[in-house]
Amino acid sequence: MSRVYNFSAGPAMLPEEVLRQSSAEMLDYQGCGMSVMEMSHRSSSFQNILDQAQQDLKDLLALPDNYKVLFLQGGASQQFAMVPMNLMKNGVADYIVTGQWAKKAYAEGAKYGKANKLATSEDRTFAYIPDCADLPVSPDADYVYICENNTIYGTKYKTLPNTKGKPLVADQSSCFLSEPVDVSRYGLIFAGAQKNIGPAGVVVVIIREDLIPEEVPAFVPTMLQYKIHADNNSLYNTPPCYGIYICGKVFQWIKAQGGLEGMQQRNLEKAKLLYDFLDESRLFRGTVDKKDRSLMNVPFVTGDKDLDAKFVKEAAAKGLVNLKGHRTVGGMRASIYNAMPLAGVQTLVDFMKQFETENG
Amino acid sequence: MSRVYNFSAGPAMLPEEVLRQSSAEMLDYQGCGMSVMEMSHRSSSFQNILDQAQQDLKDLLALPDNYKVLFLQGGASQQFAMVPMNLMKNGVADYIVTGQWAKKAYAEGAKYGKANKLATSEDRTFAYIPDCADLPVSPDADYVYICENNTIYGTKYKTLPNTKGKPLVADQSSCFLSEPVDVSRYGLIFAGAQKNIGPAGVVVVIIREDLIPEEVPAFVPTMLQYKIHADNNSLYNTPPCYGIYICGKVFQWIKAQGGLEGMQQRNLEKAKLLYDFLDESRLFRGTVDKKDRSLMNVPFVTGDKDLDAKFVKEAAAKGLVNLKGHRTVGGMRASIYNAMPLAGVQTLVDFMKQFETENG
C-alpha cells in the first residue's frame, strides 16, 4: 500500500489514523459483533457514537449553551434552501457573494423571499473579499449570509462582516474546525463534512436556538425543518450513521492534535510554507489578494497553460495528486485541509522548486 | 472477532464479504493511494464506481431503457416530500395506507395537494394488506402510492394494486432487490439503502423518464428536483460517495448469488423455515395474515409480555440480537434481509424450539 498526498478540494484527505481505526472496526465495532454500518440507529451503541461526536464537537467549538448541533443530509446545497425556508420571517435576506457557492446560495434564497446582493467580488473572478465593515444591511434582513472560505478561489474572510445586529449565516464547509472560532458571533454555521471532518453525506449545522422557528410555511418538507431535527436530536429518521461515526473519529483526532488552537498552528505552518514559496518564486504565483488568502485552498498559476498541465501531470507521477485548478481559475490548486500533513506540503514545495529549476 | 446474527429492522446486516473488502480497501482503493472516502466525486476513480453501481443495478432489475437510476440523500422520509413536489401535476394523489411509513408519506403528500386515503388496514394494526383489485382510484390522480413491504408490521403486497392506469409509486425500502420485480409496472420506486443494499444515507430512486417534470412549483428546492439529479447523473452536488461504493459492492454480491432469482430462492427458504416453525409452535405465533406475510420482516409473539422480554434477552446472550418488536406490535420481530444467512435463521429457530421446551 502506498498512500498519496491528495490535494483534492473535496472529498479530501482524512487522517490516516482515522482510516486505520475504521478499517480495523469494520466487521466488529468494539466487540458488539457488527459494523457501525449495520447498527440500528436506535441502538445504545449508535446513540453513544452520536452523543460522543456531538460532545466532542461542542468541546472543540466551546459551544455556548444556546446553540444546537445537528447532523443532517443533503450537503451544503440543501442548506442553501433550508436556511431561507426556516430563517426568512420578514422574507428578506442579504447575501455577500464571494464565489460560486455563495452565488448558488443567493439564487436559492431568492426563491423564498427578497434576497439582496449586499456585496460581491465577481468583478475580479472572486479573487478577494470585499470590505464588509459598513455595508448597507437591509433594516428588515432576517440574516446576512456569507461563504466564509471560498474553496474554488482560495479566499477567506479574515474579519467577519459587520451585520449591524442581524444574524450571520456562514457556510464554513471548507474551513470548519481549521482554527478557533467564536460561535457566538454567528446565528447559524453549516459545513459539508467532506473537506475537513469526514466523508460526503453528512452536513453539520450549528444553530442558535432562538433562530429555530416554531412554524414554517406549509410547503416546507418535514425533513427540511430545523425544528424537527433539533427536537429529535438528529434522529428524526435514520441519519447517515457511518458518516457521523467517521466525523466523530476526526473530532477525537483534532482533540488529540491540540484542538482548534493546535489545528490553527498546524494549518498556519503549512500555508506559510506554500505561500512564502509562491511569493519568492520566479515561476509560480498565487491568484488572490494576499490579505484574503485562505489557509485551506491555495490556487496558483505559472501563467502558461501548457506548463500548468505539465506540472499537474508530473506532480501526480510523484504522488502529489489532484492539483489541477478549478476551470474558472485555471492553473493549480492545493487544498491543504486539516488532515494534510506538513510533510505533504513540504514535498509539494520541494517539487515546485525542482520544477521551477527545470522549467523556469 | 465474533460476529452476531443481527435481526435489526434497519440499518441491518451487510454481507460479510462486502465488509471484508471494504475494510481491506479502506486506506488504498485499488492502488490509487487513497480511501474511497477521500476521492473527489469528479475523479475518474469515483466515476467508475458510480457507473459500475448503476450498471449492476440496471442489470439486476433488467431495467427498461426509459427509467433513470438516481442515488440521492435524505432517505425515504425525504422522498415522502419529493414525490408529491415533483409528480403532482393535477394536485391529486391516492395513498394506500398499510403502516406507519405509508401514513407519514400520506401526511406529507397532503401538504402539496389533495391526498386521498384510498384504502387502509389501520383497523387491525396494519396486520394485513387490503384488497386492491378494484379500488376507487381518483380519475385525476397523479399517482397511486404504496409502501410495498411494511417493515414494522411484516406485511407485503403479493399482488400490486390495480391503479387503473395511474402511475404506481412504491416505497420498496425493506424489500428492494429481495426478489425479481417487473419495473415496467411502476412509475417510481424508491428505497432507503439501510435494509437490503448498504449503509444509511443513500436512497435509490428509479423513475420512469416521462414522469420527471421539466418544471416544478417555484418553492421546490433545487436539491429536491428529480430533473436536476437526473440531468447530472446523481452528481449535481457531492453525493454520498462511500455509501454508493458499499451499495455497489452489495449489487455485485447479489449478482454472485444468482441475481434477484437467487435472492428470492434464498429468501423464500429462510422465511419458510421461520414461518413453518411459527405455524406449528405451541408458544410462538406470527402476527399478520398468512397471505400477506413479508419475506423480510417476521413479527411474532408469545402472548405474554414477560416471556417475550425473557426471549429477547436470552436470544441476545446467544448472539441473536435486535429481536425486540416494534412498540406498536410488541413481542419480537426478526428482520431477515438479503444479507442474513440461512444459518442465522436456523440458529434462531433452534433457539426458539429450545426456549419453547424450557418455557412452553
Grid look-up 434552501 returns A81
Q: Where are the alpha helices (DSSP H) in chain A?
A: 16-24, 44-61, 75-87, 100-109, 226-231, 241-256, 259-280, 305-317, 342-359
Averaged pLDDT for residues A293-304: 97
- Do strands B149-150 and B155-156 pair parallel, antiparallel, or not at all (unpaired)? antiparallel
CA distance B348 to B344: 6
| Cβ atoms A125, A329 nearer than 8 A | yes
CA distance B122 to B307: 27
Looking at residue B53, what is its pLDDT?
98
Count Cβ atoms below 10 Å from residue B241 Cβ, excluding itself.
26
Report yes or no: B328 at the A interface, CB cutoff 8 Å. Answer: no
CA distance A57 to A71: 11
DSSP reduced 3-state for A68:
strand
Arithmetic mean of pLDDT over chain A: 97
Task: Identify any residues that bridge with B146 across adjacent strands, giving them in sequence order.
Answer: B170
CA distance A303 to A326: 15
Tell if the CB–CB gap between B201 and A8 is shorter than 8 Å.
no
Task: Identify any residues that bridge with B333 across adjacent strands, giving them in sequence order.
Answer: B299
Looking at residue B302, what is its pLDDT?
97
User: If you measure CA to CA, which chain A residue comes closest to B112?
Assistant: A219
Count Cβ atoms below 10 Å from residue A218 Cβ, excluding itself.
8
Averaged pLDDT for residues A331-346: 98
| Cβ atoms A328, A127 nearer than 8 A | no
> Taking CA B171 as the corner, what is the angle to CA A77 and CA B238, rounded to the nearest 5 degrees?
20
For B:241-260, CB contacts with A below 8 A are: 241-243, 246
At B38, phi and psi to the nearest 5?
A: -100, 0
Grid look-up 485548478 returns A325
Which cell goes with B180? Answer: 425479481
At B5, phi and psi to the nearest 5?
A: -90, 115
Looking at residue A2, what is its pLDDT?
85
Rg, Å, chain B Cα set: 21
Looking at residue A329, what is its pLDDT?
87
Confidence band, pLDDT 50/70/90 cuts, at residue A227? very high
Confidence band, pLDDT 50/70/90 cuts, at residue B1? low
What's the one-letter identity of residue B148? E
Q: Tell me the per-residue pLDDT of A88-121, one tens digit each, with 9 for 90 and over.
A: 999 999 999 999 999 999 999 999 999 999 999 9
Question: A134 vs chain B: nearest CA distance in angstroms?
Answer: 32
What's the one-letter identity of residue A132? C
Percentage above 90 pLDDT, chain A: 98
Report yes or no: B4 at the A interface, CB cutoff 8 Å. Answer: yes
B286 Cβ neighbours under 8 A, 6+ residues apart: B154, B275, B278, B279, B293, B298, B299, B300
Confidence check: pLDDT of A360 > 90: no
CA distance B293 to B13: 21
For A:205-234, CB contacts with B below 8 A are: 217-219, 221-224
Looking at residue B328, what is its pLDDT?
86
Looking at residue B2, what is its pLDDT?
85
A206 membership: H or E segment, kind and range: strand A203-208
* Burial group, residue A136, by CB count within 10 angstroms (0-12, 13-18, 19+): exposed
Q: Is B101 one of the annotated active-site residues of the chain?
A: yes
Residue tagged active-site, from B56, B68, B101, B253: B101
Tell if the CB–CB gap between A201 and B242 is shorter than 8 Å.
yes
Question: B304 vs chain A: nearest CA distance in angstroms?
Answer: 24
Q: Tell me the per-residue pLDDT of B150-179, one tens digit each, with 9 for 90 and over.
A: 999 999 999 999 999 999 999 999 999 999
Rg, Å, chain A Cα set: 21
Count of CA atoms in the C-beta half-sphere (13 A) of A151: 24
DSSP reduced 3-state for A145:
strand
CA distance A247 to A229: 18
Q: Is A195 one of the annotated active-site residues of the chain?
A: yes
CA distances from B97 to A281, A325, B345 (A): 68, 52, 30
Nearest-CA neighbor of A335 among A292, A287, A299? A299
Task: Identify any residues that bridge with A95 across adjacent strands, giving them in sequence order.
Answer: A117, A145
| Cβ atoms A71, A204 nearer than 8 A | yes
Count Cβ atoms below 10 Å from residue A276 Cβ, excluding itself.
11
Q: List, in order of start, the domains of chain A with CATH numbers.
A: 18-256 (3.40.640.10), 259-359 (3.90.1150.10)
Grid look-up 428505497 returns B191
A250 Cβ neighbours under 8 A, 6+ residues apart: A14, A15, A18, A196, A197, A198, A338, A339
Q: ipTM strictly over 0.95?
A: yes
| Cβ atoms A171, A51 nearer than 8 A | no
User: If you measure CA to CA, which chain B residue comes closest to A192?
Assistant: B238
Tell if the CB–CB gap between B224 and A221 is shorter than 8 Å.
yes
Calculate helix-pair angle for B16-24, A16-24, nearest 10 degrees: 150
Question: B106 vs chain A: nearest CA distance in angstroms?
Answer: 12
What's the one-letter identity of residue A303? G
Terminal alpha carbon distance of chain A: 34
Confidence check: pLDDT of A328 > 80: yes
| Cβ atoms B202, B240 nearer than 8 A | yes
| Cβ atoms B73, A73 nearer than 8 A | yes
CA distances from B68 to B189, B200, B226, B276 (A): 11, 21, 10, 39
CA distances from A179 to A154, A172, A197 (A): 16, 11, 13
Looking at residue B327, what is its pLDDT?
87
DSSP reduced 3-state for A345:
helix
Looking at residue A1, what is its pLDDT?
60
The widest CA-to-CA distance across chain A, in whole angstroms, is 64
Q: Tell me the per-residue pLDDT of A134-156, one tens digit each, with 9 for 90 and over.
A: 999 999 999 999 999 999 999 99
Question: A133 vs chain B: nearest CA distance in angstroms?
Answer: 32
A204 membership: H or E segment, kind and range: strand A203-208
A357 Cβ neighbours under 8 A, 6+ residues apart: none
Q: Tell me the per-residue pLDDT of B192-237, one tens digit each, with 9 for 90 and over.
A: 999 999 999 999 999 999 999 999 999 999 999 999 999 999 999 9
Tell if the CB–CB gap between A74 and B74 is shorter than 8 Å.
yes
Tell if the CB–CB gap between B11 and A39 is shorter than 8 Å.
yes
Nearest-CA neighbor of A161 among A91, A101, A100, A95? A95
Report yes or no: A99 at the B interface, CB cutoff 8 Å. Answer: no
Tell if the CB–CB gap between A3 and B28 is shorter than 8 Å.
yes
Mutate one of A73, A77, A88, A151 to test the B interface: name it (highest B CB count within 10 A): A73
